[in-house]
Amino acid sequence: MRKLNQKTHIKGQKLLDFFQMPPVLKSPNVCCFVLGESVSFFGSWMTQIALIWMVYQLTNSAMLVGVVGFTNQFMGLIITPLVGVLLDRWNLRYVLITTQLASILLSAALTFLTFNGHINVIWIIIIGTLQGTVKAFDLPARLVTIPRLVDNKADAYSAIAIHSFLINTAKFVSPMIGGLLLAKFGAALCFLVDSISYLPFLSAILTSQIKSVTSNSNEKSNVWQNLKEGFNYTYTFIPVKYILMLQILICFMAMTHVNLIPIFVKEVLNGNAETMGILMTASALGSIVSGLYLVLKKKAIGLEKIIAFSTIILGLSLILFSRSSNLEICLLLIFLVGMTNTLTLAAISNFIQLILVDENKRGRVTSIFTTGFLGILPFGNLFFGGLTSKFGVDNALLFGGISCFVGACFFAMKLPEMEKIVFPVYIKMGLITQANHN
């Protein structure tokens, strides 16, 4: 009876520990920064949804939707690796201030052109290319900044997880509101809201305390040598290498489903902007659930297993979604797609930021992973735009789901090899003890 009570007490304590507020949330420094950036992401997601819908309404062409997605993000592939070298040298606060100001100007330009009826695909491509250039600096800078907001290294995981959660909360709210604004007032108001949404983050950047990292003077001598070091580290460190391969696969085969949703709504579900908003909201709700799970998890141990399992579910959910024409079933499946897609990519981001023990390489490695995100997405958008035009949106989604499933199975086979390398890093960082490892 006593043993039973002890077991019950232990289980109850574990449950309480799971739902306990992470200590990092008590830091005004972290909270101010991540809350501010979540508001800016709210506007960014709304603009993305409005642009996709606008292009399809203007052209009725799946290929042009893919082209616009490509031009909005292809600069990430070209310049993001070099950005990493620069971020290891530059003042992060100044970089973030500059990118927010540039984003405000570009969103204001979209607002002005749309209100005046001068917006067309050419303007969307030009402004999208400029926005992609800004993102190539902005997103890596945000990720590199997060671990430098905390005083205790062990709190880095919680800070990164909260960062992911709040971003996905913004992703949840923006399609719901964006779909309503699109249906009632048009895209111009979405762009205006985006312009305003950067102001809270700009204020947070000015007030947050960001730790500086001292670099060796000889590291500043050769940009291309520094770039090469970043790629060599990424390729030779086995866990980072396999994680990057999986991230590229997901970004090419699964993330592109966002741009296909308007086409799926119109051609398969026979819906409108509100239908698209409902679907995108269901997807984003799944993202919130996954983000909340990572926040409450608190510990890094087991992230690699979560990544493998989540990607398998992502592939299967996409396969089933592509075969369905019932709105209720599609809502459930797109919820699973949103949940597992976000869980996988957020877990990958958290995992990478944790195992990077060399701060002088953080900017370069983070930028390489951002390249895998921003740089691969445009080619995925272009590829799936063409695939959809030729074989239909349902078959394009099916192909993406099958590819994710196969890639996840390969990654799962590599887990034992990765864990042999990762656990000593956790022990060195004090995240686990040698006794826990054994």
Residue 176 domain-assigned (yes or no): yes
- What does the alpha-carbon distance between residue 188 and residue 117 come to, in Å, rounded to a whole number? 10
- What does the alpha-carbon distance between residue 166 and residue 159 come to, in Å, rounded to a whole number? 11
Q: Six-digit token pair at 283? A: 């997807």
- What does the alpha-carbon distance between residue 100 and residue 106 come to, in Å, rounded to a whole number? 10
Query: Mapping DSSP to helix (H, G, I), strand (E, B) and coil, where does residue 129 land?
Result: helix
Residue 374 domain-assigned (yes or no): yes
Residue 198: per-residue pLDDT? 92
More confident residue, 190 or 361: 190
Residue 68: per-residue pLDDT? 77
- What does the alpha-carbon distance between residue 243 and residue 246 come to, in Å, rounded to a whole number? 5
More confident residue, 83 or 93: 93
Average pLDDT over residues 350-375: 71
Closest CA to 360 of 219, 163, 237: 219
pLDDT surpassing 50 at residue 138: yes
CATH at residue 166: 1.20.1250.20
Residue 3 domain-assigned (yes or no): no
Residue 78 domain-assigned (yes or no): yes
Query: Mapping DSSP to helix (H, G, I), strand (E, B) and coil, where does residue 186 land?
Result: coil
pLDDT tier at 438 (50, 70, 90 boundaries)?
low
When divided into structural domains, the chain yields a total of 1
> Any idea which residue has 């101010």 for tokens?
32
Of 175-184, 214-223, 227-236, the range with the lowest mean pLDDT is 214-223
> Any idea which residue has 């199975």 for tokens?
409
Q: Domain residues for 27?
A: 23-210+222-437
Residue 16: per-residue pLDDT? 47
Closest CA to 69 of 272, 287, 259, 226: 259
More confident residue, 279 or 18: 279
Residue 215 domain-assigned (yes or no): no
Average pLDDT over residues 397-414: 93
Residue 38 domain-assigned (yes or no): yes
